[in-house]
Amino acid sequence: MAVVEKRRGEVAEVERVVRQDEEVANEAAEAANVIRKECEAELNLALPLLEDATEALNTIKQDDIVFIKAMKNPPAGVKLVMEAVCVLLGEKPDRVPDPQGTGKMVEEYWSVSKRLLGDIKFKENLLNFDKENISQKAIQTIRSKYRDNNEFKPEKIKVASKAAESLCKWVLAMERYEEVDRKVAPKREALQRADQQYQGLMGELRKKQEALRGVQEELAGLQAELDTVKKEKLELEQTVELCSIKKDRAEQLLAALGGEKTRWTDNAHHLAQVYIYLTGDMLLAAGDIAYLGAFTPEYRAEQTARWLQECRDREVPCSGEFELASALGDPLTIRDWTLNGLPTDPFSIDNGVIISNTTRWPLLIDPQGQANKWIRNMEKDNALQVVKLSDPDFIRTLENCVQFGQPVLLENVGEELDPILEPLLLKQTFKQSGSTCIKLGDATIEYSADFRMYLTTKLSNPNYVPEVSVKVTLVNFALTGAGLEDQLLALVVAHEKPELEEERVTLMLQTAQNKKNLKELEDRILSTLSSSKGSILEDETAINILSDANRLVKETQEKQTIAEETEKKINATRLGYRPVAVTASILFFTLRDLACLDPMYQYSLTWFVNLFSNSIDNSEKASELADRLNALRSHFTLSLYHNVCTGLFEKDKLVFSFLMCVNLQRSENNVDDSEWLFLLTGGVALAADPKPNPASEWLPETSWQQVQWLTCLGSLKVDFKFFVRKILWILLTKNNPRVRKHLVEEFPDHLSEWRTVFESENPEKETLPCSPETPLTRMQMLCVLRCLRPDKVVAAIQDYVADLLGKAYIEAPPFDLGRTYVDSNCCLPLIFLLTPGADPTNLLLKFAEDQGMGGDRLQSVSLGQGQGPVARKLIEEGMRIGTWVLLQNCHLAKSFMPQLEKLCEDLNPETTHADFRLWLTSYPAAHFPVSVLQSSIKMVTEPPKGLRANLKRLYLADPLSEPDFLLGPGSSERFRRLVYSLCFFHAVVQERRLFGPLGWNVPYSFSDTDLRISAKQLRNLLSSYEFFET
């Protein structure tokens, strides 16, 4: 013990010496830093001038350079500047005869300047000029001849040439930078000497520290030996007492854990297998997280399968069926995610795993708000802050979150990220005063390790540049069919069988809690076994804990078994309603695809789910499940069609109904994908062995080519194959008179049937020749018609939709502003999608009068340059006092769209007057905010297609819809007949717009305003004159 105390004193003395040396080394380092900062400060004095010159150079265009070069007699200022540029670049002047006629040779730079200007890399050479190594000869020339020259001033040079002014600034900046750089050189040498001194001190310090560690280790060894002797003495005293207790505790432990051997053995075996495949699985998981987050489920699976095969080919051990959720996901964590709103489909689960394991902040492509909702719920208990880039206090909120370790959700990110986020995205942290800090804008703030950031965008298909992609982890959170089906199934079961859905949710929570309890108990057992000191038999507390834990495990397992059996029964009942959820899911994705037709066709999942919920409540009830399902599907499909058609252009309504019909048929495997692709494209290549057209006198060559393409479809077993086969036989057997004669007699009869179809006025009504054994499907008939009579495909599609869905799906309901208004509220904008010749303003003014919102209660502004503040003020005032606001021509105010988006997001029922309505008019525009489109009610006042539909619309519109106009006093039979004729004429000219100016001098645009005025003039005319029957 005395030896230990002596050595402890010696160690303390060595430690004191080492601390003194450390202080000396730190002082040397601080001195070096002071010199370094002085160097940087002096160099920074020249940086603004240098940056100004660089910016000036960037403004020079190639045309400016060409213009200067082309000067035959440049101004003196331009020549002076170019001389200075040549001097800096080390260009020697040409010697030419003195233009003054002295006969001497003089130096002349203009020809050299022209050569420089002719170099296509002239501007690039200036930008990349080596300013640290400017020759002293050149810099002395610049200072003596140009710097102090009163004519060599940018403001004077600017008079001669803007580009020369930029070059002048550059020359002066180079001279200034060289001057500063020369002054800093001695300090750089001093810095180098200080650094060398510091390194020398550190070398000596490290030697002393190494010696200190040696004596400390020696002291620790001596202390350990002393402790060992003491411990052995104590253990010998306790051995007899412990041995008498171990037997009883061993028996108790075996009774508690004896039945768990099989389960733990299986777990150990499973973990051993996982360990074998760990390398390959982690390699695949890293690839998925790093590269596949932005892609669709299909592409992820395809690429992962390729990587898996590559691993096997290179003998890298990996699981047979790799799944990201199994490799990195924790079942209990995943269950918590789903309870917080994460969709339960594998794609969404993988997204959650990517987000939780990526080292970069995730940017979630979330057009329907699923990820946004999940993150809000998941981080709710952690004081999540939700911000947008447009928020006025965005920076302050972000700084607080970074400093205090709060998670932040940045919503509605566009395709470009604010540069202020770059330090956060790149995690450019640094140590300052012992704390981890980060620079955010101009402020340096402390960076908490608990800080988390999520970014979401509502753009369904954003185009991020690589510079953005490498800073974040893109995660595609677009809704999947399976995920939406589960959500809709839960919704319909909650309406139809609320007690069943409530029990299912309760079981989910109970199951999650049971699994959580099991995991905690297992961890408790393992922790107790692993943390027990020495023999487990010597730890009475551990023995008691293990006994209690084992009892609780058995009880929890029994509860979990009962819960799982009950959940299976509930799920079996719920599956009866899945066909409705499947249909609704198909229709949603059909609706989503409308954005490909027009960027204004945007619909939110919330709107869709609300419509689906209303259909569940309003559809016809039935005692039989099959009848109820049919009623639900029929009601919702028609309700969706009517609501969507209100905001579709006429040209897209049939497309929408056709897409609905085809997608529903495809889900039932009634439409082959190859036939559907052929109908859309008409084929993409010639047949493998194209044959000559057998009916060139009436069958166009393009139609014959498409016939051959059509016969290549494996699914289409129609008489066209027989048709082509006959031709092949004729061509192959032309040297056999008997066969040729037989086929020549048969072929014309077959060909005439097709000619009848080809020349028919209504070929879609004709019966197509085909084999009775393989009749054509409806889609195949459309494909055939596309080949022979593409002009009748639209009519055939109308018949197709009418037969499979009903006539209601080819006759869109007339526009009813009153019904649309009833569906609106103060927080939903109403958007009129404009078409040429259609102006909904008068319609809205009349409707406002009818609703008591006329006069000053309807404020209108036509957006354009400088109208943004006016529009903002009107909206804010309308929200407060309950007026209507009409913003016209939103497509012309691209810069105002972010403000409009923010205003619409701020619409809140609690702070917005119930009578307030925001009306917008806009032509289709790609820059229109997606969030506004998704949360709005869209309307199109375009005249419908078809004479009948147009007439119905006119009689439902002002002024004909007014009771007194057609049936009131002064309205005679003659007047009503003339009004009908007028409407008929107007409907005809509206339909004739399809043919453009054909039949007219110019393409006229007769609007509803023209009809309204004509009808009123007709009434005034009949009221002013007396007519007699003839």
The answer, yes or no, to whether residue 671 has pLDDT greater than 70, is yes
Amino acid at 261: K
Write the DSSP assignment of 324-353 as a string of letters.
HHHHH--HHHHHHHHHTT---SHHHHHHHH
Q: Which of 172-176, 314-318, 352-356, 767-771 has the largest mean confidence? A: 352-356
**Distance separating alpha carbons of residues 460 and 296, to the nearest angstrom:** 12
Using alpha carbons only, give the angle 741, 742, 747 rounded to the nearest 5 degrees: 100
The answer, yes or no, to whether residue 60 has pLDDT greater than 60, is yes
pLDDT band at 736 (very low <50, low <70, confident <90, very high): very low
Taking residue 132's Cβ as centre, other Cβ atoms within 10 Å add up to 8
Within 13 A of 325's CA, how many CA atoms are on the CB side?
16
Write the DSSP assignment of 430-477 as a string of letters.
EEETTEEEEEETTEEEE--TT--EEEEE--SS----HHHHTTSEEEE-
Work out the percent of the chain whose per-residue pLDDT is above 70: 82
Closest CA to 168 of 153, 179, 180: 153
List, as own/partner pairs, every contact residues 723-726 make where C-beta atoms lie below 8 angstroms and the sequence separation is at least 24, other chains included.
723/750, 723/754, 724/691, 726/750
The answer, yes or no, to whether residue 886 has pLDDT greater than 70, is yes
Which tokens belong to 718? 């129609």
The 443-446 sheet, strands edge to edge: 429-432, 435-440, 443-446
pLDDT band at 563 (very low <50, low <70, confident <90, very high): confident
Domain ranges of the chain: 44-187, 359-478, 673-809, 817-942, 948-1024
Q: What is the 3-state secondary structure (H, E, C) of 785-854?
A: HHHHCHHHHHHHHHHHHHHHCCHHHCCCCCCCHHHHHHCCCCCCCEEEECCCCCCCHHHHHHHHHHCCCC
The answer, yes or no, to whether residue 468 has pLDDT greater than 60, is yes
Q: Which residues contact 966 (CB under 8 A, 6 or more apart)?
A: 960, 975, 976, 979
**Residue 437 burial class via C-beta count within 10 angstroms: exposed 0-12, middle 13-18, buried 19 and up:** middle
- Looking at per-residue pLDDT, the higher value among 200 and 726 belongs to 200
- Looking at per-residue pLDDT, the higher value among 709 and 67 belongs to 67
User: Cα separations (Å) of 356 from 329, 335, 361, 455, 483?
Assistant: 9, 14, 10, 14, 20
Which class would CATH give 359-478? alpha beta
**Distance separating alpha carbons of residues 67 and 85, to the nearest angstrom:** 17
pLDDT band at 771 (very low <50, low <70, confident <90, very high): low
Peptide bond into 959 cis (omega under 30): yes
Which tokens belong to 874? 């009107």
Across the chain, what does the average pLDDT equal?
Answer: 80
**Comparing 112-126, 350-364, 518-532, which segment has the lowest mean pLDDT?**
518-532
Q: Region 707-712: what's the mean pLDDT?
A: 65
Q: Region 570-596: what's the mean pLDDT?
A: 87
List, as own/partner pairs, every contact residues 447-452 make where C-beta atoms lie below 8 angstroms and the sequence separation is at least 24, other chains included.
447/402, 447/403, 448/402, 448/403, 448/404, 448/405, 449/405, 450/405, 450/406, 451/401, 451/402, 451/405, 451/406, 451/407, 451/408, 452/361, 452/379, 452/407, 452/408
Q: Region 421-438: what's the mean pLDDT?
A: 91
Whether the CB-CB separation of 289 and 275 falls below 8 Å is answered with no
* Run of H or E residues at 615: helix 605-618
Whether the CB-CB separation of 983 and 951 falls below 8 Å is answered with yes
**Distance separating alpha carbons of residues 501 and 51, to the nearest angstrom:** 66
- pLDDT score at 672: 83
Sign of CA dihedral 143, 144, 145, 149: positive
- pLDDT score at 47: 65
The answer, yes or no, to whether residue 898 has pLDDT greater than 90, is no
**Distance separating alpha carbons of residues 351 and 372, to the nearest angstrom:** 13
Whether the CB-CB separation of 904 and 870 falls below 8 Å is answered with no
* DSSP-derived secondary structure letter, 550: H
Closest CA to 379 of 349, 406, 361: 406
- pLDDT score at 738: 34
**Distance separating alpha carbons of residues 685 and 688, to the nearest angstrom:** 9
- Looking at per-residue pLDDT, the higher value among 376 and 202 belongs to 376
Whether the CB-CB separation of 612 and 588 falls below 8 Å is answered with no
CB-based burial, 716-739: b 16+ in 10 Å, e otherwise: bbbbbbebbebbebbeeeeeeeee
Beta strand pairing status for 435-440 and 443-446? Answer: antiparallel
- pLDDT score at 735: 36
SS3 assignment, position 246: helix
Sign of CA dihedral 846, 850, 851, 857: positive
pLDDT band at 691 (very low <50, low <70, confident <90, very high): low
- pLDDT score at 219: 72
Q: Region 965-974: what's the mean pLDDT?
A: 77
Fold for domain 817-942? Rossmann fold (3.40.50)
Q: Which residues contact 867 (CB under 8 A, 6 or more apart)?
A: 861, 893, 896
Q: Region 439-451: what's the mean pLDDT?
A: 90
- pLDDT score at 1: 63
**Distance separating alpha carbons of residues 854 and 464, to the nearest angstrom:** 46
**Comparing 327-331, 437-441, 967-971, which segment has the lowest mean pLDDT?**
967-971
The answer, yes or no, to whether residue 94 has pLDDT greater than 60, is yes
pLDDT band at 725 (very low <50, low <70, confident <90, very high): very low
pLDDT band at 740 (very low <50, low <70, confident <90, very high): very low
**Comparing 463-472, 757-766, 991-1000, 1021-1030, which segment has the lowest mean pLDDT?**
1021-1030
Q: Region 259-281: what's the mean pLDDT?
A: 79
- pLDDT score at 733: 37
**Residue 881 burial class via C-beta count within 10 angstroms: exposed 0-12, middle 13-18, buried 19 and up:** exposed
Fold for domain 44-187? Histone Acetyltransferase; Chain A (1.20.920)
pLDDT band at 538 (very low <50, low <70, confident <90, very high): low
**Distance separating alpha carbons of residues 172 and 88, to the nearest angstrom:** 11
pTM of the model: 0.64
- pLDDT score at 642: 92
User: Cα separations (Å) of 917 from 85, 376, 837, 858?
Assistant: 64, 29, 25, 9
- pLDDT score at 734: 36
* pLDDT tens digits, 172-186: 888 777 777 777 667
SS3 assignment, position 680: helix
- pLDDT score at 717: 40
pLDDT band at 724 (very low <50, low <70, confident <90, very high): very low
Within 13 A of 379's CA, how many CA atoms are on the CB side?
22
Whether the CB-CB separation of 594 and 472 falls below 8 Å is answered with no
Amino acid at 480: T
The answer, yes or no, to whether residue 375 has pLDDT greater than 90, is yes
- pLDDT score at 50: 65
Which tokens belong to 788? 């022979």
**Residue 45 burial class via C-beta count within 10 angstroms: exposed 0-12, middle 13-18, buried 19 and up:** middle
> Given this chain, do its domains 44-187 and 359-478 carry the same CATH topology?
no
- pLDDT score at 529: 67
The answer, yes or no, to whether residue 1027 has pLDDT greater than 60, is no
- pLDDT score at 549: 67
* pLDDT tens digits, 202-216: 777 777 777 777 777
Q: Region 448-459: what's the mean pLDDT?
A: 92
**Distance separating alpha carbons of residues 771 and 387, to the nearest angstrom:** 66
Which tokens belong to 299? 């592409």
The answer, yes or no, to whether residue 715 has pLDDT greater than 60, is no
- pLDDT score at 729: 38
